[in-house]
Amino acid sequence: MDEHSANIVDLTHIEKTFGAVRALAGVDLMVSRGECVGLVGHNGAGKSTLMNILAGTLAADAGEISIGGKPQKHYSVAQAHKLGVRCVFQELSLCPNLTVAENARVLHPSIAGWGWRKQAGRLIREKLDAIFPDHGISTDSMVGDLPIGKRQMIEVARAFTVTKESVRLVILDEPTSSLDSHRAGQLLAHVRRAITDGGACVLISHLLGEILEYTDRIVVMRDGKVVAADRAAAFSRDRLVTTMGATAAGRTGRADAGTVARGSTPVRVRAQPVRQSDGFELVAHQGEIVGLAGLAGHGQTDLLLTIFKAAARRTAGVKISDPVALIAGDRQSDGIFPLWSIAENIGIRSIKNLRRGRLISPDLETRFAESWRDKIKILTPDLRNNILSLSGGNQQKALFARALGSEARIVLMDDPMRGVDIGTKLEVYELIRSEARAGRTFLWYTTEMEELQNCDHVYVFRNGRIVADLRRDELSEEKVIQSSFEEAIHS
């Protein structure tokens, strides 16, 4: 193998179709040594498909793959591993029933025989220490018992571990989605260190800031094709957004001022996190958009779920005045019904009102879905098509239609824009604001500052407690970050 070849990866004219959908229409991609390539694009642009092909988990229909200058005829996962290509997938790829050390062994067939457990434990511990100092993870703990953020740290660290074959290329598909900004920074700093040692990295992220700051070169994909590739320095946020093909370019300005002053409308939600001991509580008035901020996994989702449960059963510490609907961020596991049509997926939350007599009327159901398709612009030729025929962003829109079409006056959103392209985001922000003006109350958990700027009021969470209560005019990224970290600094 030619170790000195400049290009680690050369993909030429890669094509891939799934049924009638053309996921990749002849893509070229090259990654050279010592380079971090940022890969951006909308959902359904083909990024993940391309990376799956590069990792060997999907076979390309046509095109050539060459690694380290050598064309690969029969490319497979095993072959990719042998050649030092590692991939951290969007969904976590750890076995919850194995220990951290055992999970490290899964990636390294060469760790076997007596003492394999110790060897694997040492391997992963050293890497964790290097990337995430003070990670506090024991290599003997069962992965399933760890919180999701730690699991993502293990997974990332595992991808960088080396036994026999050196790691040449690490593909990181949304690696920071469950990490807070502190850990995300450590990870991205490690990526920079790793590539100076002669490795390479492909980083996929919807956080354009990460891409602009940490990558050397940016490749933009749209509709299964590469539409732009240039030095990172040549891109600005605005240029990235326009190249990706957002329907409305540019950064969202702050929502128009002039929303109702706090207190002039009735209180719709009062909720206290279980761990809150100082009597602080979250309050949401009618027509307000209330943000739940803080580092990922600090009790925001828990509180939303508590409020959701309180709608069905009286719960201590929570008072709500109206029906509640929840929009999940994880579409696949918490949102869609994969065997159903788009119309059925939209109608299920309002099914009681779609009946004639005791029986559900398919006619009413279709008309209901049609009205929402027009209102929220779901792109589909036929609402009777399966929900999976929609792109990710449009599936998320269907979930918004499900919640907003219901009788619920309070809408809980659990980071619903996770992995949604920017065009859809901008449309949905506008929709949320107009629904709030019409008197709906929104509780919005998000980790993105940009989204918090749509909120009238923001509560910052830390360790399962509300630690700050910011009015819109007090809101700033510095304040949110400061409140999220305060304890760590003081104690």
Partner 1 sequence: MNSLLRRLLSQPWVWSYLGALLVWLAAIVFTHGYGAGGMISAGLALAVFSVITGVAQMFVITLGPGNVDLSLPANIGLASAVAMKVMGGSDSLIALGLGAALVSGIGIGVGNYLLIWLLRIPPIIATLSASFIIQSIGISYGRGLQIKPPPGFAEFTTVQLAGVPLLAIGTVVLTLGFAVLLHRTIYGRSVLAIGQNPRAAWLAGIAVERTRCFTYLLSGALGGICGALLAGYFRGSSLDIGDEYLLASIALVVIGGTSVSGGKANVTGLWGAGLFLVLLLTMLNTFGVSAGIRYVVTGLVIIGVIVAAGGEKAR
Partner 2 sequence: MTSLAGASTLRAVVAEVNTPRRILRAILPALSLALVVAGIAWFNPRAISYFGINLMLNLGIPVVLATIAQMFVITVNELDLSIGNFVSFVGCVAAIWLRENPVLGVVILIGCIGLYALMGAVIYLRNVPSIVVTLGMLFVWQGLAVLVLPRPGGKAPAWLHDIMNLRTPYVPFPIVAAVVIAAVVHFGIMQSSYGAILRGSGGNPNAIGRAGWSLLRTKVVMFLLAGIFGVLSGLSLIGLTTSADANIGKGYTLLSIAGVILGGGEFVGGRVSPIGAVIGALTLTLAGTLLNFMRISPDWQVGAEGAILIIVLAARALINRAGPGVLSHK
What is the contact surface with partner 2 in residues (CB under 8 A)? 55-57, 76-78, 80-81, 87, 89, 91-98, 102-103, 105-107, 109, 111-113, 116-117, 141-142, 144-148, 178, 274-275, 297-299, 301-302, 305, 328-330, 332-334, 414, 464
Q: How far is the CB of 359 from partner 1 (least distance, A)?
A: 4
H/E segment holding residue 480: helix 477-490
Structure tokens at 466: 């509300």
Tell me the DSSP string of 29-77: EEEETT-EEEEEE-TTSSHHHHHHHHHTSS--SEEEEEETTEEESS--H
Q: How far is the CB of 456 from partner 1 (least distance, A)?
A: 25
| x-or-dash string of contact with partner 1, 388-417, rule CB under 8 A | --------------x---x-----------
If one asks whether residue 326 binds partner 1 (CB under 8 A), the answer comes out as yes
- Cβ contact 53:59 at 8 Å: yes
147 vs 323, beta carbon nearer partner 2: 147
- Cβ contact 413:444 at 8 Å: yes
Q: How far is the CB of 353 from partner 1 (least distance, A)?
A: 11
What are the C-alpha distances in Å from 435 to residues 327, 416, 441? 15, 16, 8
Angle, helices 392-404 vs 422-437, to 10°: value is: 10
Q: Where are the alpha helices (DSSP H) in 56-171?
A: 77-82, 100-106, 116-131, 148-159
Choose the binding region for partner 1 from 56-64, 221-229, 265-273, 325-333 (rule: CB under 8 A). 325-333
If one asks whether residue 333 binds partner 1 (CB under 8 A), the answer comes out as yes
Q: How far is the CB of 166 from partner 1 (least distance, A)?
A: 31
Among 339, 384, 476, 482, binds partner 1 (CB under 8 A): 339
**How many Å from the N-terminal Cα to the C-terminal Cα in the chain?**
52
| x-or-dash string of contact with partner 1, 355-394, rule CB under 8 A | x--xxx----------------------------------
Q: How far is the CB of 419 from partner 1 (least distance, A)?
A: 17
What backbone torsions phi and psi does residue 354 show, to the nearest 5 degrees? Answer: -105, 30
What are the C-alpha distances in Å from 321 to residues 298, 393, 403? 26, 31, 17
23 vs 208, beta carbon nearer partner 1: 23
What are the C-alpha distances in Å from 196 to residues 88, 201, 202, 253, 347? 20, 11, 14, 38, 53
27 vs 87, beta carbon nearer partner 2: 87
Binding at 325: pick from partner 2, partner 1, none (beta carbon under 5-8 Å per type): partner 1
Beta bridge partners of 301: none
**Where does this chain bind partner 1 (CB under 8 A)?**
308, 325-326, 328, 333-340, 348-349, 351-352, 355, 358-360, 402, 406
